[in-house]
């Protein structure tokens, strides 16, 4: 059948129980359907300021410079790295999954000398080991992931920021997949820069990256402040350090745009800003601790259900992210065929894996708006039926019952 590219948009309803993107909260979709305002309309700049205030609470920080980058989660990552790293700077990446590789890759492209340590996939670092390395290496930047969906692991972060400050460096944490579903304390843990995305526990679409920066990080970035050609004010004070290689991701210029100066940079992606603001509102109205508990409960129920079905959970469960669970694909089962059947017959998406885990591990997400009891139970039931249909001897009925019991 030929498909007409002019056909009306009509996406089939899907239950998105993979590693993200996940189902968007209908209140966020409603916010995105609101009419636009001019970018310097006083009501619009107030919404920008609201968004800053709300994400301070989401990140548990008092950082003045808390805003959003107009791009997907990795836009936030690149903005941090390219704005702080000058060619030749040492960047240390403790790497325990695919997104650690991404940090190395972006830092290398920014000209950094990257030093990295690895831990086997499915495990995390002891923060004391990281602290020791920081003391010895004295890197300008330590860049690490909090929750790496590629392995489902959540890295403990306490003590690392303190070690960075003692060594005169900065700590950047990529909280894309963890924020809103796992505790994150930017100020208490002395994190200098932290970024996220909307499409995981924040129940929004991809395309806006919340970011927060400590004052000491901002001070370092502002040493590279250079005004844009064509709109440079007469009294512009330029920084002494080399200009940032990217215009779009130049955090010094972005702060001029988000700050009182309101110096034009890009045209803020208004609908995505509405989405980002609504995501934070919804999360804060529920309460951060309540949301963390909801994700933790879903995680416990998923673990109980998976084991009761006779399946194996992937990775070190003491350090599992609350919002995603790895399931080892049983021997003799074609993981992709099972996923395709889940999608086709049940309208449910679960995730495949990358790199060394490709085809070997499914990733079951329960995040944000989609992290609800009924969704988890329905998904376990559908997985069970799918495995039966694929000829696997499953302990029928046990998974859903065990998950339901865990919820009680």
Q: How far is the CB of 366 from a second copy (least distance, A)?
A: 15
SS (H, E, C) 286-335: HCHHHHHHHHHHHHHHHHHHHHHCCCCECCCHHHECCCEEEEECCCCCCH
Residues 221-280 interacting with a second copy (rule: CB under 8 A): 228-231, 243-249, 264, 266-272, 274-275, 277-278
Residues 279-318 interacting with a second copy (rule: CB under 8 A): 281, 284-285
Total count of residues recorded for the chain: 408
Whole-angstrom CA distances from 12 to 15, 29, 198, 204 are 10, 16, 22, 18
Q: Contacting a second copy (CB under 8 A), which of 63, 84, 94, 98?
A: 98
Q: Identify whether the C-beta of residue 253 lies closer than 8 Å to the C-beta of residue 228.
A: yes
Residues 77-96 interacting with a second copy (rule: CB under 8 A): 78, 82
Residue closer to a second copy, measured from CB, 253 or 406: 253
Q: How far is the CB of 228 from a second copy (least distance, A)?
A: 6
* Position 3 contacts a second copy (CB under 8 A): yes
Query: Which helix (H) or strand (E) element contains residue 80?
Result: helix 73-84
Residues 15-74 interacting with a second copy (rule: CB under 8 A): 16, 18, 20-24, 29-39, 41, 43-44, 46-47, 49-51, 53-54, 70-74
Residue closer to a second copy, measured from CB, 310 or 356: 356
* Position 337 contacts a second copy (CB under 8 A): no
Q: Identify whether the C-beta of residue 253 lies closer than 8 Å to the C-beta of residue 247.
A: yes
* Position 375 contacts a second copy (CB under 8 A): no
Q: How far is the CB of 32 from a second copy (least distance, A)?
A: 5
Q: How far is the CB of 7 from a second copy (least distance, A)?
A: 8
Query: Which helix (H) or strand (E) element contains residue 376?
Result: helix 373-389
Q: How far is the CB of 384 from a second copy (least distance, A)?
A: 21
Q: How far is the CB of 372 from a second copy (least distance, A)?
A: 15
Q: How far is the CB of 192 from a second copy (least distance, A)?
A: 21
Q: Which residues contact 369 (CB under 8 A, 6 or more apart)?
A: 22, 23, 24, 25, 26, 203
251-258 vs 215-222: helix axis angle to the nearest 10?
110
Residues 127, 128, 129, 132, Cα dihedral to 10°? 120
Q: Contacting a second copy (CB under 8 A), which of 58, 60, 68, 75?
A: 75
| Token pair for 286 | 């529920």
Whole-angstrom CA distances from 255 to 58, 174, 192, 279 are 19, 20, 16, 22
Residue closer to a second copy, measured from CB, 93 or 303: 93
Residues 142-201 interacting with a second copy (rule: CB under 8 A): 150, 197, 199
Q: Identify whether the C-beta of residue 212 lies closer than 8 Å to the C-beta of residue 194.
A: yes
Q: Contacting a second copy (CB under 8 A), which of 122, 205, 326, 399?
A: 205
């Amino acid at each position: 059948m030929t498909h007409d590219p002019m056909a009306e948009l009509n996406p089939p309803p899907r239950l998105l129980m993979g590693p993200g993107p996940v189902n968007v909260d209908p209140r966020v979709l409603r916010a995105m359907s609101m009419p636009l305002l001019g970018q310097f309309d006083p009501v619009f700049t107030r919404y920008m300021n609201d968004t800053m205030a709300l994400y301070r609470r989401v990140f548990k920080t008092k950082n003045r410079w808390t805003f959003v980058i107009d791009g997907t989660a990795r836009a936030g990552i690149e903005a941090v790295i390219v704005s702080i790293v000058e060619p030749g700077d040492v960047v240390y990446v403790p790497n325990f999954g695919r997104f650690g590789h991404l940090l190395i890759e972006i830092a290398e492209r920014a000209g950094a000398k990257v030093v990295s340590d690895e831990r086997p996939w499915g495990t995390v670092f002891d923060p004391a080991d990281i602290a020791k390395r920081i003391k010895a290496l004295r890197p300008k930047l330590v860049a690490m992931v909090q929750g790496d969906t590629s392995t489902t692991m959540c890295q403990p972060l306490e003590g690392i920021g303190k070690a960075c400050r003692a060594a005169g460096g900065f700590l950047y944490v990529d909280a894309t997949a963890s924020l809103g579903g796992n505790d994150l304390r930017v100020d208490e843990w002395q994190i200098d820069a932290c970024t996220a995305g909307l499409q995981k526990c924040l129940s929004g679409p991809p395309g806006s990256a919340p970011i927060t920066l400590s004052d000491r990080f901002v001070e370092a970035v502002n040493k590279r402040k250079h005004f844009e050609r064509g709109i440079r004010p007469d009294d512009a004070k330029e920084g002494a350090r080399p200009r940032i290689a990217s215009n779009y991701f130049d955090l010094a210029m972005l702060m001029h745009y988000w700050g009182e100066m309101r110096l034009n940079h890009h045209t803020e992606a208004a609908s995505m800003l509405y989405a980002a603001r609504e995501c934070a509102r919804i999360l804060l109205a529920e309460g951060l601790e309540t949301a963390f508990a909801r994700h933790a409960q879903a995680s416990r129920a998923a673990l109980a259900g998976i084991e009761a079905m006779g399946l194996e959970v992937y990775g070190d469960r003491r350090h599992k992210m609350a919002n995603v669970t790895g399931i080892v694909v049983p021997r003799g089962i074609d993981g992709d065929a099972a996923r395709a059947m889940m999608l086709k017959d049940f309208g449910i998406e679960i995730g495949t894996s990358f790199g060394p885990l490709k085809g070997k591990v499914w990733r079951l997400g329960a995040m944000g708006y989609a992290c609800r009891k009924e969704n988890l139970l329905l998904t376990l039931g559908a997985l069970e039926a799918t495995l039966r249909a694929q000829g696997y001897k499953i302990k029928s009925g046990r998974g859903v019952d065990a998950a339901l019991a865990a919820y009680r």
